[in-house]
Chains A and B, each alone.
Chain A
Amino acid sequence: DVKVTQSSRYLVKRTGEKVFLECVQDMDHENMFWYRQDPGLGLRLIYFSYDVKMKEKGDIPEGYSVSREKKERFSLILESASTNQTSMYLCASSPGTSGSRYNEQFFGPGTRLTVL
Protein backbone atom coordinates (compact mmCIF):
# COMPACT_ATOMS: atom_id res chain seq x y z
CA ASP A 1 0.00 0.00 0.00
CA VAL A 2 1.07 3.52 -0.68
CA LYS A 3 2.02 5.35 2.43
CA VAL A 4 2.11 9.11 2.71
CA THR A 5 3.34 10.39 6.04
CA GLN A 6 3.36 13.89 7.44
CA SER A 7 5.77 15.03 10.10
CA SER A 8 3.22 16.17 12.67
CA ARG A 9 -0.47 15.60 13.34
CA TYR A 10 -0.81 18.77 15.43
CA LEU A 11 1.34 21.88 15.47
CA VAL A 12 1.04 25.16 17.37
CA LYS A 13 3.14 28.12 16.27
CA ARG A 14 3.36 31.83 16.95
CA THR A 15 2.68 34.63 14.48
CA GLY A 16 5.83 35.44 12.53
CA GLU A 17 7.51 32.07 13.04
CA LYS A 18 8.89 30.10 10.10
CA VAL A 19 7.06 26.80 9.84
CA PHE A 20 8.10 23.64 8.01
CA LEU A 21 5.63 20.90 7.17
CA GLU A 22 7.19 17.73 5.85
CA CYS A 23 5.65 15.04 3.69
CA VAL A 24 7.17 11.74 2.61
CA GLN A 25 5.76 9.12 0.24
CA ASP A 26 7.18 5.63 -0.22
CA MET A 27 5.87 4.57 -3.63
CA ASP A 28 8.16 6.43 -6.01
CA HIS A 29 5.34 8.72 -7.14
CA GLU A 30 6.16 11.49 -9.57
CA ASN A 31 3.66 14.07 -8.36
CA MET A 32 3.18 15.58 -4.94
CA PHE A 33 0.67 18.15 -3.72
CA TRP A 34 -0.04 20.40 -0.76
CA TYR A 35 -3.60 21.40 0.10
CA ARG A 36 -5.26 23.24 2.90
CA GLN A 37 -8.67 22.19 4.10
CA ASP A 38 -11.06 24.67 5.69
CA PRO A 39 -14.71 24.24 6.64
CA GLY A 40 -17.04 25.19 3.80
CA LEU A 41 -14.16 25.63 1.36
CA GLY A 42 -13.12 22.05 0.79
CA LEU A 43 -9.56 21.41 -0.36
CA ARG A 44 -7.60 24.19 -2.00
CA LEU A 45 -4.34 23.51 -3.79
CA ILE A 46 -1.37 25.49 -2.51
CA TYR A 47 1.51 24.08 -4.56
CA PHE A 48 2.33 20.95 -6.46
CA SER A 49 5.40 19.31 -7.91
CA TYR A 50 5.65 16.93 -10.85
CA ASP A 51 9.37 16.23 -10.55
CA VAL A 52 12.32 16.74 -8.28
CA LYS A 53 13.20 20.44 -7.95
CA MET A 54 10.11 21.37 -9.97
CA LYS A 55 7.20 23.24 -8.46
CA GLU A 56 4.06 24.90 -9.69
CA LYS A 57 1.75 27.31 -7.94
CA GLY A 58 -1.71 26.15 -7.13
CA ASP A 59 -4.75 28.26 -6.41
CA ILE A 60 -3.60 29.88 -3.16
CA PRO A 61 0.23 30.06 -3.08
CA GLU A 62 0.51 33.42 -1.31
CA GLY A 63 2.40 33.17 1.96
CA TYR A 64 3.76 29.71 1.19
CA SER A 65 6.74 28.17 -0.52
CA VAL A 66 7.77 24.58 -1.19
CA SER A 67 10.85 22.48 -1.63
CA ARG A 68 11.36 19.15 -3.35
CA GLU A 69 15.01 18.15 -3.19
CA LYS A 70 14.30 14.41 -3.26
CA LYS A 71 11.59 12.53 -5.08
CA GLU A 72 9.99 11.14 -1.95
CA ARG A 73 9.90 14.35 0.08
CA PHE A 74 7.87 17.52 -0.42
CA SER A 75 8.09 20.30 2.14
CA LEU A 76 5.70 23.19 2.68
CA ILE A 77 7.16 26.33 4.21
CA LEU A 78 5.33 29.19 5.83
CA GLU A 79 7.91 31.96 5.76
CA SER A 80 6.17 34.06 8.42
CA ALA A 81 3.15 32.36 9.88
CA SER A 82 -0.04 34.36 10.28
CA THR A 83 -3.28 33.58 12.08
CA ASN A 84 -5.14 33.20 8.79
CA GLN A 85 -2.91 30.22 8.01
CA THR A 86 -4.48 28.26 10.83
CA SER A 87 -5.86 25.26 8.98
CA MET A 88 -5.61 21.56 8.22
CA TYR A 89 -2.81 20.86 5.76
CA LEU A 90 -2.98 17.76 3.62
CA CYS A 91 -0.20 16.31 1.52
CA ALA A 92 -0.91 13.95 -1.39
CA SER A 93 0.99 12.11 -4.08
CA SER A 94 0.02 10.51 -7.37
CA PRO A 95 1.89 8.07 -9.60
CA GLY A 96 2.31 10.28 -12.65
CA THR A 97 2.28 9.41 -16.31
CA SER A 98 2.10 5.63 -16.37
CA GLY A 99 -0.52 3.08 -15.42
CA SER A 100 -4.28 3.20 -14.99
CA ARG A 101 -3.99 4.88 -11.61
CA TYR A 102 -1.75 7.72 -12.79
CA ASN A 103 -3.99 10.52 -11.55
CA GLU A 104 -5.29 8.95 -8.35
CA GLN A 105 -4.17 10.87 -5.31
CA PHE A 106 -3.02 9.27 -2.07
CA PHE A 107 -3.26 11.41 1.02
CA GLY A 108 -1.41 11.71 4.28
CA PRO A 109 -3.31 12.01 7.57
CA GLY A 110 -2.99 15.78 7.69
CA THR A 111 -1.37 18.33 9.99
CA ARG A 112 -3.62 20.59 11.99
CA LEU A 113 -1.72 23.85 12.33
CA THR A 114 -2.74 26.53 14.78
CA VAL A 115 -1.05 29.93 14.57
CA LEU A 116 -1.47 32.05 17.69
Chain B
Amino acid sequence: GNSVTQMEGPVTLSEEAFLTINCTYTATGYPSLFWYVQYPGEGLQLLLKATKADDKGSNKGFEATYRKETTSFHLEKGSVQVSDSAVYFCARAGGYQKVTFGTGTKLQVIP
Protein backbone atom coordinates (compact mmCIF):
# COMPACT_ATOMS: atom_id res chain seq x y z
CA GLY B 1 0.00 0.00 0.00
CA ASN B 2 0.91 3.66 0.09
CA SER B 3 3.36 4.67 2.76
CA VAL B 4 5.61 7.52 3.76
CA THR B 5 8.76 7.19 5.84
CA GLN B 6 10.36 10.18 7.45
CA MET B 7 13.28 10.57 9.77
CA GLU B 8 12.58 10.26 13.43
CA GLY B 9 13.01 13.16 15.74
CA PRO B 10 13.31 15.11 17.71
CA VAL B 11 15.69 17.30 15.80
CA THR B 12 17.33 20.05 17.81
CA LEU B 13 19.10 22.86 15.99
CA SER B 14 20.55 26.22 16.88
CA GLU B 15 19.03 29.29 15.29
CA GLU B 16 20.35 29.95 11.76
CA ALA B 17 21.42 26.33 11.28
CA PHE B 18 20.61 24.38 8.11
CA LEU B 19 17.68 21.99 8.29
CA THR B 20 17.07 18.75 6.42
CA ILE B 21 14.26 16.38 7.24
CA ASN B 22 14.34 13.25 5.10
CA CYS B 23 11.22 11.74 3.58
CA THR B 24 10.72 8.82 1.20
CA TYR B 25 7.48 7.50 -0.25
CA THR B 26 6.22 4.38 -1.98
CA ALA B 27 6.28 4.82 -5.72
CA THR B 28 2.83 3.56 -6.67
CA GLY B 29 1.62 5.83 -9.45
CA TYR B 30 2.57 9.52 -9.57
CA PRO B 31 1.31 10.96 -6.31
CA SER B 32 1.28 14.57 -5.22
CA LEU B 33 3.62 15.09 -2.28
CA PHE B 34 3.19 17.44 0.65
CA TRP B 35 4.81 18.80 3.74
CA TYR B 36 2.48 19.84 6.54
CA VAL B 37 3.45 21.65 9.73
CA GLN B 38 1.81 21.50 13.13
CA TYR B 39 2.57 24.27 15.59
CA PRO B 40 1.97 23.58 19.29
CA GLY B 41 -1.72 23.35 20.14
CA GLU B 42 -2.89 23.60 16.54
CA GLY B 43 -4.01 21.41 13.69
CA LEU B 44 -1.85 20.72 10.66
CA GLN B 45 -1.43 23.28 7.92
CA LEU B 46 -0.01 22.84 4.47
CA LEU B 47 3.56 24.10 4.17
CA LEU B 48 4.33 23.19 0.56
CA LYS B 49 3.49 20.69 -2.15
CA ALA B 50 4.77 19.27 -5.44
CA THR B 51 2.63 17.52 -7.99
CA LYS B 52 5.11 15.91 -10.40
CA ALA B 53 8.69 14.77 -10.75
CA ASP B 54 11.35 17.49 -10.47
CA ASP B 55 8.83 20.01 -9.13
CA LYS B 56 10.12 22.12 -6.27
CA GLY B 57 7.67 23.26 -3.64
CA SER B 58 8.63 26.26 -1.54
CA ASN B 59 7.14 28.43 1.17
CA LYS B 60 8.44 30.53 4.09
CA GLY B 61 12.05 29.67 3.19
CA PHE B 62 11.37 25.93 3.17
CA GLU B 63 11.92 23.88 0.01
CA ALA B 64 11.43 20.31 -1.12
CA THR B 65 12.06 18.71 -4.51
CA TYR B 66 10.06 15.78 -5.89
CA ARG B 67 12.71 13.17 -6.75
CA LYS B 68 11.18 10.29 -8.64
CA GLU B 69 14.44 8.41 -9.10
CA THR B 70 15.04 8.22 -5.34
CA THR B 71 11.34 8.39 -4.30
CA SER B 72 12.25 11.21 -1.95
CA PHE B 73 10.86 14.59 -0.93
CA HIS B 74 13.29 15.96 1.63
CA LEU B 75 12.47 19.20 3.41
CA GLU B 76 15.20 21.85 3.65
CA LYS B 77 15.65 25.32 5.03
CA GLY B 78 18.85 27.29 4.92
CA SER B 79 18.51 29.15 8.20
CA VAL B 80 15.99 28.08 10.82
CA GLN B 81 14.38 30.38 13.36
CA VAL B 82 12.96 29.72 16.81
CA SER B 83 9.50 30.25 15.32
CA ASP B 84 10.04 27.20 13.07
CA SER B 85 9.81 24.92 16.10
CA ALA B 86 6.97 22.55 15.26
CA VAL B 87 6.20 19.03 14.09
CA TYR B 88 6.64 18.43 10.35
CA PHE B 89 4.74 15.76 8.46
CA CYS B 90 5.58 14.43 5.03
CA ALA B 91 2.59 13.10 3.10
CA ARG B 92 1.56 11.62 -0.23
CA ALA B 93 -1.76 11.66 -2.01
CA GLY B 94 -3.50 8.41 -2.77
CA GLY B 95 -6.75 7.15 -4.18
CA TYR B 96 -10.06 8.88 -3.39
CA GLN B 97 -7.96 11.95 -2.56
CA LYS B 98 -6.88 10.32 0.66
CA VAL B 99 -3.54 11.40 2.03
CA THR B 100 -1.06 9.13 3.79
CA PHE B 101 1.05 10.86 6.42
CA GLY B 102 4.43 10.05 7.86
CA THR B 103 4.86 9.78 11.60
CA GLY B 104 6.07 13.36 11.99
CA THR B 105 9.40 14.90 12.94
CA LYS B 106 9.57 17.30 15.84
CA LEU B 107 11.90 20.23 15.31
CA GLN B 108 13.15 22.32 18.19
CA VAL B 109 15.19 25.42 17.41
CA ILE B 110 17.10 26.95 20.28
CA PRO B 111 18.30 30.56 20.37
A interface residue numbers (CB < 8 A to B): 4, 31, 33, 35, 40-43, 45, 48, 50, 56, 58, 90, 92, 94, 96, 102-110
Contact = CB atoms under 8 A, between A and B. Distances in A.
Contacts of A92: 43-44
Contact of B96 (A56, A105, A106): A56
Nearest to B90: A42
A43 B101 contact: yes
Contacts of B93: 103
A48 B41 CA distance: 23
30 contacts: A4-B43, A35-B101, A40-B103, A41-B103, A42-B101, A42-B102, A42-B103, A43-B44, A43-B101, A43-B104, A48-B96, A48-B98, A56-B96, A58-B98, A92-B43, A92-B44, A94-B97, A96-B97, A102-B97, A103-B93, A103-B97, A104-B46, A105-B46, A106-B46, A107-B43, A107-B45, A108-B43, A109-B41, A110-B42, A110-B43
A111 to B, nearest CB: 10
Contacts of A33: 98
Contacts of A109: 41-43
A92 B32 CA distance: 17
Interface in B30-46: 32, 34, 36, 41-46
A31 B49 CA distance: 19
Contacts, number: 52
B105 to A, nearest CB: 10
B89 interface: yes
Nearest to B104: A42
Contacts of B11: none
List the 3 closest pairs (A to B, CB-CB), nearest first: A107-B43, A42-B103, A43-B101
Contact of A45 (B34, B43, B98): B98
Given A43-B89, A103-B32, A90 B44 contact: yes
Contacts of A50: 96-97
